[in-house]
Amino acid sequence: MATAGRRGCARRVHDVTSLRTVFRRGKRAFLLNPNADIASDTDREERETVRCLLEAIEGSGLEKVVAQSTMGAQPGEQCGDLNVLYELEVGLRNQPIPASVIRAAYYYSNWDTMAGSVTKDGVLSTMLPADLALPMVAPEDLGRVAARLLQEPIEQIAIYAVEGPERYSPNDVAAAFAATLGRTVRVEVIPREAWEDAYRRSGFSDAAAHSYARMTALTADGPEYPEDAIRGSIPLQTYIDGLVRDSS
């Protein structure tokens, strides 16, 4: 669920003058497009944030930027981050500051909201096929890669896919929770026809629910993922152990 703090963050990012002033304090910057309030038209709001980020780096004096995108980024409409972050990539290619892009795998932290219900009921709800193995990654590993890329020579730029040490399915996530909790955890797959309603019940606007459902469908339908990704070191089990510990 979005919070007032997150909405406030979005408003600050839309203040181009103030954002450019912040950028002028340094020489290199990591760009992460913040999530819009899920009760809004998230695609429209996040596209506006991309526009503001790109405008703010103009005249900022930055010598290099590193931006976080996502695996599966592609042109189009109403597919959430896949489209919005693709437009960020295009915008960075079309401006003069050298820019590297991280195409991140599915965040382990996407499972954070399930910790409570899994602990209470032993049920892991997901829209993804239970046995679908996906590239996943710990946010900490992404941070380490971003830090390294920010320190590379200015002219050394590229698009880098980043994932964890292995690929995992929802069944693997359930097994990780089960190992941590010492109890059985079963996977409950939400049928595709119920996805938009499930998003709306979680507080998403109609526009956001439609976009997120389409983004989820593209993920569930199993796109091709790069085989030459940078591999992080943090396994899923380590992340889940820490999540449960911090949630208790």
pLDDT at 10: 56
Mean pLDDT confidence for 153-178? 98
Tens digits of residue pLDDT in 215-229: 999 999 977 899 999
Tens digits of residue pLDDT in 91-146: 999 999 999 999 999 999 999 999 999 999 999 999 999 999 999 999 999 999 99
Burial of 104 from C-beta contacts in 10 A (0-12 / 13-18 / 19+)? buried
Under the banding of pLDDT at 50, 70 and 90, the label for residue 72 is very high
Tens digits of residue pLDDT in 186-224: 999 999 999 999 999 999 999 999 999 999 999 999 778
- Contact (Cβ atoms closer than 8 angstroms) between residue 238 and residue 150: no
CA distance 33 to 121: 34
CA 146 vs CA 34, 103, 136, 222: distances in Å: 16, 11, 16, 26
Would you list the domain boundaries of the chain? Answer: 4-247
Task: Find all residues with CB under 8 Å of 26, minimum gap 6, and list them.
Answer: 62
Conformational region of residue 187, where left means phi above 0, alpha means psi within -120 to 50, and beta covers everything else: beta
pLDDT at 9: 54
**The model scores a pTM over 0.75:** yes
pLDDT at 3: 30
Write down the CATH number for the domain with range 4-247.
Answer: 3.40.50.720
Q: What is the dihedral of CA 3, 185, 104, 134, to 10 degrees?
A: -140
The number of CA neighbours under 13 Å toward the Cβ of 154 is 8
